[in-house]
């Protein structure tokens, strides 16, 4: 009687089953990672947009509420420059006295209490040249454009080096382009006849174009997922090569999503570290303490206007011969000096806030 021999499964069949199972688990892990990355990118994108909106809103409110005081500062600045022009060009002084008066004038500019109107490398230039190149007047109708332009420029400068990391010929850009072209081909409005469907495809194409221009691979993949366009296969009957191909594709997608997630985090860090971003953080801290931050800035601005008005009155008194040259060169009384020091501190605070908006 022949010996009993148990029937064993074919080694090739066993190996294939294990491989399919392994790739199936790998694909499940990649899909979970894919969903997590899409969720995190959406959250980070929302956080960044909210922060940038808060930056713009806060700066615009400061400009709008402080505009009358800011205009007053510019008017006073122009008036004081005009007073010094009268003193230096229409009155006769000795060479030393004229140099001393010019020294006071330059000191006010060095201290930031007046806008600069002289060449620091050539202090012996003609007095007529001192008053050239006067600053432009502030146009309240352009305040929003002014902020948007300067904030955008400041923001763009921070991102120039970062955005250059992604060349249009890089594998990343090519993959984004391939995804975009695939979706654009599916949703091209000219491929449908129904007016309602055509309108729907038009809206999708707008989203696709915007996502492509911004390099937003997450949004492209979200659209692909929303419309059930991502490739699926029958896992029971799938071959190893089919599952492996899908796994490799998902790995490439996830790497792009990881890059985008890191980009968004970096952009948010940069935004928070800009002067405007610091202002938002200070504003939030004041709100927690129950402090009206904008009210404090405006109050400081009002005090600085008063301080500049005192300077204007002092220079005007000298021009109108109400005080002597000696008194003028000595400056205001000690009490006034003490007040002026306080005003200068407040003015410095204001200038810092205004520079935050102008950088």
3-state secondary structure of 162: helix
| Predicted local confidence at residue 44, as pLDDT | 93
C-alpha torsion 204→206→208→212, nearest 10: 180
**Looking at residues 43-51, what average pLDDT do you find?**
92
For residue 100, pLDDT beyond 60: yes
Is the pLDDT higher at 263 or at 339? Answer: 263
pLDDT in tens, 322-336: 999 988 888 765 444
Q: What's the rounded Cα separation, in Å, for the pair 147 and 139?
A: 12
User: In the structure encoding, which two tokens stand for residue 294, read together?
Assistant: 């904008």
Can you give the residue ranges of every domain in the chain? 22-112+145-165+263-358
For residue 83, pLDDT beyond 90: yes
Is the pLDDT higher at 230 or at 86? Answer: 86
* pTM across the whole model: 0.53
- The contacts of residue 152 (CB under 8 Å, 6+ apart) are none
For residue 79, pLDDT beyond 60: yes
Helices (H), the chain: 11-90, 95-110, 127-130, 143-163, 171-186, 195-213, 217-226, 240-273, 275-288, 293-319, 325-330, 334-358
At which residue do the structure tokens 């090569």 appear?
241
């Amino acid at each position: 009687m022949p010996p009993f021999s148990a029937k064993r499964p074919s080694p090739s069949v066993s190996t294939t089953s294990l491989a399919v199972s392994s790739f199936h688990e790998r694909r499940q892990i990649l899909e979970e990672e894919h969903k997590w990355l899409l969720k995190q990118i959406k959250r980070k994108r929302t956080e960044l947009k909210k922060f940038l909106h808060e930056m713009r809103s806060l700066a615009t409110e400061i400009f709008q509420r402080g505009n009358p005081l800011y205009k007053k500062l510019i008017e006073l600045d122009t008036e004081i420059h005009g007073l010094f022009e009268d003193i230096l060009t229409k009155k006769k002084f000795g060479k030393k006295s004229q140099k001393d008066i010019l020294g006071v004038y330059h000191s006010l500019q060095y201290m930031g209490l007046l806008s600069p109107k002289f060449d620091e490398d050539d202090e012996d230039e003609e007095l007529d040249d001192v008053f050239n190149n006067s600053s432009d007047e502030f146009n309240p109708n352009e305040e929003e454009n002014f902020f948007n332009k300067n904030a955008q420029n400041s923001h763009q400068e921070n991102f120039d080096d970062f955005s250059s990391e992604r060349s249009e010929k890089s594998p990343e850009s090519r993959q984004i382009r391939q995804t975009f072209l695939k979706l654009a081909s599916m949703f091209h409005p000219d491929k449908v006849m129904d007016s309602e469907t055509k309108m729907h495809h038009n809206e999708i194409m707008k989203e696709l174009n915007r996502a492509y221009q911004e390099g937003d691979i997450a949004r492209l993949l979200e659209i692909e997922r929303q419309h059930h366009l991502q490739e699926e296969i029958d896992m029971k009957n799938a071959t190893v090569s089919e599952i492996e191909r899908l796994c490799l594709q998902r790995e490439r997608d996830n790497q792009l999503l990881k890059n985008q997630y890191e980009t968004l985090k970096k952009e948010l860090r940069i935004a928070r570290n800009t002067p405007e971003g610091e202002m938002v953080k200070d504003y939030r801290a004041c709100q927690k303490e129950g402090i009206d931050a904008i009210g404090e800035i405006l109050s400081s601005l009002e005090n600085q206007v008063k301080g500049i008005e005192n300077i204007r009155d002092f220079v005007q008194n000298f021009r109108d011969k109400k005080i002597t040259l000696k008194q003028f060169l000595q400056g205001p009384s000690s009490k006034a000096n003490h007040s002026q020091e306080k005003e200068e501190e407040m003015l410095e605070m204001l200038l810092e806030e205004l520079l935050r908006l102008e950088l």
